[in-house]
Amino acid sequence: MTPDDGGVLLFGWRGALFRVADGVQPPKAGSLFFCRRVPVTADERVLEVGCGLGLFAVLAARAGARVVATDVMPAAVEATRANAVLNGVSVDTRLGDGYAPVAGERFDLVCTNPPQMPTPPGRERDDAEAAADNGGRDGWALLDRVIAGAPAHLVRGGRLVFSLFDFLGVKRALATLSARGFAPSVLATEVQPFPRIGYERLDHLRSIDVEGTLPAGTPATVERVIVQGVLA
Ligand SMILES: C[S@@+](CC[C@H](N)C(=O)[O-])C[C@H]1O[C@@H](n2cnc3c(N)ncnc32)[C@H](O)[C@@H]1O
Protein backbone atom coordinates (compact mmCIF):
# COMPACT_ATOMS: atom_id res chain seq x y z
CA MET A 1 0.00 0.00 0.00
CA THR A 2 1.39 3.40 -0.95
CA PRO A 3 0.94 6.36 1.42
CA ASP A 4 -1.77 7.83 -0.84
CA ASP A 5 -3.59 4.50 -1.22
CA GLY A 6 -5.84 4.79 1.84
CA GLY A 7 -9.20 5.26 0.11
CA VAL A 8 -11.68 8.12 0.33
CA LEU A 9 -14.10 8.21 3.26
CA LEU A 10 -17.45 9.87 2.45
CA PHE A 11 -20.39 10.64 4.72
CA GLY A 12 -23.81 11.32 3.21
CA TRP A 13 -26.57 12.94 5.24
CA ARG A 14 -29.65 15.02 4.57
CA GLY A 15 -28.89 15.17 0.87
CA ALA A 16 -25.38 16.50 1.41
CA LEU A 17 -22.08 14.70 0.93
CA PHE A 18 -19.02 15.20 3.11
CA ARG A 19 -15.49 14.03 2.55
CA VAL A 20 -13.94 12.87 5.83
CA ALA A 21 -10.40 14.02 5.15
CA ASP A 22 -7.31 12.69 6.91
CA GLY A 23 -6.75 14.40 10.24
CA VAL A 24 -10.45 15.24 10.72
CA GLN A 25 -12.75 13.29 13.00
CA PRO A 26 -15.69 11.50 11.32
CA PRO A 27 -19.15 12.64 12.47
CA LYS A 28 -20.22 11.12 15.79
CA ALA A 29 -23.61 10.81 17.51
CA GLY A 30 -22.94 14.18 19.15
CA SER A 31 -22.32 15.83 15.77
CA LEU A 32 -25.66 14.66 14.38
CA PHE A 33 -27.52 15.60 17.58
CA PHE A 34 -25.96 19.06 17.40
CA CYS A 35 -27.02 19.54 13.75
CA ARG A 36 -30.55 18.29 14.42
CA ARG A 37 -31.24 20.40 17.47
CA VAL A 38 -29.41 23.72 16.97
CA PRO A 39 -32.01 25.98 15.32
CA VAL A 40 -30.77 28.11 12.43
CA THR A 41 -32.87 30.32 10.20
CA ALA A 42 -32.18 31.82 6.80
CA ASP A 43 -30.20 35.07 6.77
CA GLU A 44 -28.90 34.66 10.31
CA ARG A 45 -25.22 35.41 10.69
CA VAL A 46 -23.78 32.33 12.36
CA LEU A 47 -20.41 31.53 13.93
CA GLU A 48 -19.46 27.91 14.59
CA VAL A 49 -16.35 27.52 16.74
CA GLY A 50 -14.68 24.14 16.06
CA CYS A 51 -16.20 23.18 12.71
CA GLY A 52 -14.40 19.86 12.17
CA LEU A 53 -15.31 18.56 8.71
CA GLY A 54 -18.03 21.19 8.32
CA LEU A 55 -21.19 19.15 8.89
CA PHE A 56 -23.10 21.86 10.80
CA ALA A 57 -21.58 24.76 8.83
CA VAL A 58 -22.53 23.30 5.44
CA LEU A 59 -26.05 22.34 6.50
CA ALA A 60 -26.60 25.79 8.06
CA ALA A 61 -25.37 27.45 4.87
CA ARG A 62 -27.74 25.24 2.88
CA ALA A 63 -30.55 26.51 5.12
CA GLY A 64 -29.67 30.04 4.02
CA ALA A 65 -27.53 31.23 6.94
CA ARG A 66 -24.36 33.25 6.45
CA VAL A 67 -21.81 31.08 8.19
CA VAL A 68 -18.33 31.73 9.53
CA ALA A 69 -16.74 28.40 10.54
CA THR A 70 -13.51 28.31 12.52
CA ASP A 71 -11.20 25.62 13.79
CA VAL A 72 -7.80 25.54 15.43
CA MET A 73 -6.69 22.65 13.18
CA PRO A 74 -5.71 23.56 9.58
CA ALA A 75 -6.98 20.19 8.27
CA ALA A 76 -10.46 20.93 9.66
CA VAL A 77 -10.61 24.39 8.11
CA GLU A 78 -9.55 22.94 4.75
CA ALA A 79 -12.05 20.07 5.09
CA THR A 80 -14.92 22.49 5.79
CA ARG A 81 -13.89 24.70 2.86
CA ALA A 82 -13.76 21.68 0.53
CA ASN A 83 -17.07 20.26 1.81
CA ALA A 84 -18.77 23.62 1.28
CA VAL A 85 -17.56 23.63 -2.33
CA LEU A 86 -18.63 19.99 -2.74
CA ASN A 87 -22.15 20.95 -1.68
CA GLY A 88 -22.35 24.18 -3.65
CA VAL A 89 -22.61 26.54 -0.68
CA SER A 90 -20.51 29.38 0.64
CA VAL A 91 -18.94 29.08 4.10
CA ASP A 92 -16.41 31.62 5.37
CA THR A 93 -13.74 29.32 6.84
CA ARG A 94 -11.08 30.67 9.17
CA LEU A 95 -8.18 29.18 11.09
CA GLY A 96 -7.54 30.00 14.73
CA ASP A 97 -8.11 29.51 18.43
CA GLY A 98 -11.52 30.35 19.91
CA TYR A 99 -12.67 33.82 18.89
CA ALA A 100 -9.27 34.94 17.51
CA PRO A 101 -10.41 34.64 13.85
CA VAL A 102 -13.50 36.83 14.43
CA ALA A 103 -12.11 39.69 16.53
CA GLY A 104 -14.55 42.62 16.60
CA GLU A 105 -17.35 40.73 14.78
CA ARG A 106 -20.86 40.00 16.04
CA PHE A 107 -23.31 37.25 15.11
CA ASP A 108 -26.95 36.27 15.60
CA LEU A 109 -25.90 32.78 16.67
CA VAL A 110 -22.62 31.56 18.14
CA CYS A 111 -22.53 27.79 18.49
CA THR A 112 -20.12 25.00 19.24
CA ASN A 113 -19.95 21.26 19.70
CA PRO A 114 -16.66 21.65 21.56
CA PRO A 115 -14.02 19.17 22.65
CA GLN A 116 -15.28 18.33 26.16
CA MET A 117 -14.01 14.97 27.28
CA PRO A 118 -12.40 15.56 30.71
CA THR A 119 -8.72 14.80 30.38
CA PRO A 120 -6.62 13.42 33.23
CA PRO A 121 -3.41 15.36 34.01
CA GLY A 122 -0.54 14.22 31.81
CA ARG A 123 -2.84 12.81 29.11
CA GLU A 124 -2.96 15.98 26.97
CA ARG A 125 -1.78 15.62 23.37
CA ASP A 126 -1.67 18.04 20.44
CA ASP A 127 -2.89 15.85 17.56
CA ALA A 128 -6.18 16.34 15.71
CA GLU A 129 -8.02 13.61 17.61
CA ALA A 130 -7.06 15.16 20.93
CA ALA A 131 -8.13 18.61 19.68
CA ALA A 132 -11.53 17.13 18.81
CA ASP A 133 -12.02 15.28 22.11
CA ASN A 134 -9.98 16.68 24.99
CA GLY A 135 -11.62 19.39 27.04
CA GLY A 136 -9.01 19.96 29.73
CA ARG A 137 -9.11 18.56 33.28
CA ASP A 138 -12.85 19.13 33.84
CA GLY A 139 -13.97 19.23 30.19
CA TRP A 140 -14.74 22.95 30.29
CA ALA A 141 -11.49 24.41 28.90
CA LEU A 142 -12.82 25.67 25.55
CA LEU A 143 -16.44 25.93 26.64
CA ASP A 144 -15.64 28.36 29.47
CA ARG A 145 -13.76 30.57 27.00
CA VAL A 146 -16.56 30.41 24.42
CA ILE A 147 -19.15 31.41 27.04
CA ALA A 148 -16.96 34.20 28.43
CA GLY A 149 -16.33 35.67 24.99
CA ALA A 150 -19.84 35.28 23.61
CA PRO A 151 -21.34 38.60 24.82
CA ALA A 152 -18.72 40.48 22.79
CA HIS A 153 -19.56 38.44 19.67
CA LEU A 154 -23.36 38.43 19.75
CA VAL A 155 -25.89 41.05 18.72
CA ARG A 156 -28.47 42.01 21.36
CA GLY A 157 -30.91 39.11 21.63
CA GLY A 158 -28.36 36.81 19.97
CA ARG A 159 -28.04 33.16 20.97
CA LEU A 160 -25.16 31.07 22.23
CA VAL A 161 -25.83 27.34 21.78
CA PHE A 162 -23.56 24.45 22.73
CA SER A 163 -23.58 20.72 23.36
CA LEU A 164 -22.72 19.21 26.72
CA PHE A 165 -22.15 15.76 28.23
CA ASP A 166 -24.37 15.73 31.32
CA PHE A 167 -21.41 14.73 33.51
CA LEU A 168 -19.92 18.19 32.89
CA GLY A 169 -22.86 19.63 34.83
CA VAL A 170 -26.03 21.09 33.33
CA LYS A 171 -26.63 23.19 36.46
CA ARG A 172 -23.15 24.64 36.10
CA ALA A 173 -23.84 25.46 32.43
CA LEU A 174 -27.09 27.28 33.24
CA ALA A 175 -25.53 29.17 36.16
CA THR A 176 -22.50 30.19 34.09
CA LEU A 177 -24.76 31.55 31.36
CA SER A 178 -26.87 33.47 33.89
CA ALA A 179 -23.75 34.99 35.42
CA ARG A 180 -22.70 36.25 31.97
CA GLY A 181 -26.04 37.95 31.29
CA PHE A 182 -27.79 35.21 29.30
CA ALA A 183 -31.28 33.79 29.74
CA PRO A 184 -30.39 30.07 29.82
CA SER A 185 -32.43 27.02 28.83
CA VAL A 186 -32.05 23.40 27.78
CA LEU A 187 -33.14 23.03 24.15
CA ALA A 188 -32.84 19.25 23.84
CA THR A 189 -31.53 16.10 25.47
CA GLU A 190 -30.65 12.75 23.94
CA VAL A 191 -29.46 9.48 25.41
CA GLN A 192 -26.45 8.22 23.48
CA PRO A 193 -24.10 5.25 23.82
CA PHE A 194 -21.42 5.98 26.42
CA PRO A 195 -18.34 7.26 24.56
CA ARG A 196 -15.52 4.76 24.20
CA ILE A 197 -12.92 7.27 25.36
CA GLY A 198 -15.09 7.83 28.46
CA TYR A 199 -14.60 4.21 29.53
CA GLU A 200 -10.84 4.73 29.44
CA ARG A 201 -11.26 7.77 31.73
CA LEU A 202 -14.07 6.57 33.97
CA ASP A 203 -12.25 7.12 37.27
CA HIS A 204 -11.36 10.64 36.18
CA LEU A 205 -14.94 11.31 35.02
CA ARG A 206 -16.23 10.25 38.43
CA SER A 207 -13.84 12.73 40.06
CA ILE A 208 -15.30 15.68 38.11
CA ASP A 209 -18.96 14.54 38.14
CA VAL A 210 -19.99 16.99 40.88
CA GLU A 211 -23.68 16.86 39.88
CA GLY A 212 -23.75 13.06 40.32
CA THR A 213 -24.90 11.99 36.86
CA LEU A 214 -22.79 8.84 36.46
CA PRO A 215 -24.37 5.62 37.69
CA ALA A 216 -22.51 3.14 39.88
CA GLY A 217 -20.90 0.39 37.81
CA THR A 218 -20.21 0.61 34.10
CA PRO A 219 -22.42 3.15 32.32
CA ALA A 220 -23.97 2.02 29.04
CA THR A 221 -25.29 5.42 28.02
CA VAL A 222 -24.73 9.12 28.56
CA GLU A 223 -27.15 12.02 28.27
CA ARG A 224 -26.16 14.68 25.80
CA VAL A 225 -27.67 18.13 26.23
CA ILE A 226 -28.06 21.15 23.97
CA VAL A 227 -27.88 24.32 26.06
CA GLN A 228 -28.87 27.79 24.87
CA GLY A 229 -28.30 31.24 26.28
CA VAL A 230 -30.11 34.26 24.86
CA LEU A 231 -28.23 37.51 25.43
CA ALA A 232 -30.38 40.07 27.20
C1 LIG B 1 -15.99 17.65 18.97
S2 LIG B 1 -15.22 18.29 17.54
C3 LIG B 1 -16.64 18.89 16.69
C4 LIG B 1 -16.45 18.95 15.20
C5 LIG B 1 -17.74 19.23 14.43
N6 LIG B 1 -18.25 20.56 14.74
C7 LIG B 1 -18.77 18.17 14.74
O8 LIG B 1 -19.76 18.49 15.43
O9 LIG B 1 -18.58 17.04 14.33
C10 LIG B 1 -14.45 19.78 18.17
C11 LIG B 1 -13.72 20.61 17.13
O12 LIG B 1 -13.19 21.76 17.82
C13 LIG B 1 -11.89 22.02 17.32
N14 LIG B 1 -11.15 22.78 18.34
C15 LIG B 1 -10.48 22.30 19.42
N16 LIG B 1 -9.94 23.30 20.14
C17 LIG B 1 -10.27 24.46 19.50
C18 LIG B 1 -10.01 25.83 19.75
N19 LIG B 1 -9.27 26.22 20.81
N20 LIG B 1 -10.50 26.75 18.88
C21 LIG B 1 -11.24 26.37 17.81
N22 LIG B 1 -11.52 25.07 17.52
C23 LIG B 1 -11.06 24.12 18.36
C24 LIG B 1 -11.32 20.65 17.02
O25 LIG B 1 -10.23 20.71 16.13
C26 LIG B 1 -12.55 19.93 16.46
O27 LIG B 1 -12.64 20.08 15.07
Q: What is the pLDDT of residue 5?
A: 83
Indicate whether 7 belongs to any domain. Answer: no
DSSP symbol at 84:
H
Indicate whether 33 belongs to any domain. Answer: yes
**Which residue, by CA, sits nearest to atom 13 of ligand 1?**
50
Integer Cα distance of 44 and 156 in angstroms: 13
> What DSSP string describes 26-37?
PP-HHHHHHHHH
Q: Is 65 in the pocket of ligand 1 (CB under 6 A)?
A: no
CA 114 to centroid of ligand 1, rounded, Å: 5
Indicate whether 13 belongs to any domain. Answer: no
Each residue of 13-36: pLDDT tens digit?
999 999 999 999 999 999 999 999
Q: Is the pTM of this model over 0.85?
A: yes
Each residue of 100-114: pLDDT tens digit?
999 999 999 999 999
Helix (H, G, I), strand (E, B) or coil at 231: strand
Each residue of 147-196: pLDDT tens digit?
999 999 999 999 999 999 999 999 999 999 999 999 999 999 999 999 99
Q: Which domain holds residue 110?
A: 19-231
Indicate whether 6 belongs to any domain. Answer: no
CA 71 to centroid of ligand 1, rounded, Å: 6
Query: Residue 4: pLDDT band by 50, 70, 90 thresholds?
Result: confident
Indicate whether 4 belongs to any domain. Answer: no
Indicate whether 83 belongs to any domain. Answer: yes
**Which residue, by CA, sits nearest to atom 11 of ligand 1?**
50
Name the residue of 46, 142, 144 to mutate for ligand 1: max ligand atoms within 8 A of Cβ: 142
Give which of 145, 115, 114 is closest to 130, Cα–Cα.
115
* 1 has a pLDDT exceeding 50: no
Give which of 69, 65, 118 is closest to 92, Cα–Cα.
69
* 125 has a pLDDT exceeding 60: yes
Give which of 17, 13, 10, 9 is closest to 88, Cα–Cα.
17
Indicate whether 44 belongs to any domain. Answer: yes
CA 96 to centroid of ligand 1, rounded, Å: 11
Integer Cα distance of 231 and 181 in angstroms: 6
Helical (H) or strand (E) element with 133 = helix 128-133
Q: What is the pLDDT of residue 130?
A: 93
Give which of 49, 19, 35 is closest to 110, Cα–Cα.
49
Number of domains in the chain: 1
The CATH number linked to 81 is: 3.40.50.150
Query: Residue 221: pLDDT band by 50, 70, 90 thresholds?
Result: very high
